[in-house]
Amino acid sequence: MADKVNFELVSPERLLVSDQYDMVVIPGGDGDFGVLPQHAPLISTIRPGVIDIHDGGRVTHQVFVGGGFAEVLPDRCTVLAQEAVMIGDIDRAEAEERLRAAELDVRDAESDGERARAEAKVAVLKAMIEASGKSH
pLDDT tens digits, residue range 82-103? Answer: 999 999 999 999 999 999 999 9
Residues 54 and 113 in one domain: no
d(CA 1, CA 19): 11
Supply the pTM of this predicted model.
0.87
Tell which phi-psi region holds residue 66, choosing left (phi > 0), alpha (psi between -120 and 50) or beta: alpha
92-108 vs 112-132: helix crossing angle, rounded to 10:
160
d(CA 40, CA 113): 37
Domain count, the chain: 2
Confidence of residue 21 (pLDDT cuts 50, 70, 90): very high
Range of the domain at 52: 5-87
Burial category of 132 from C-beta neighbours within 10 Å (exposed 0-12, middle 13-18, buried 19 and up)? buried
Residues 77 and 95 in one domain: no
Residues 99 and 82 in one domain: no
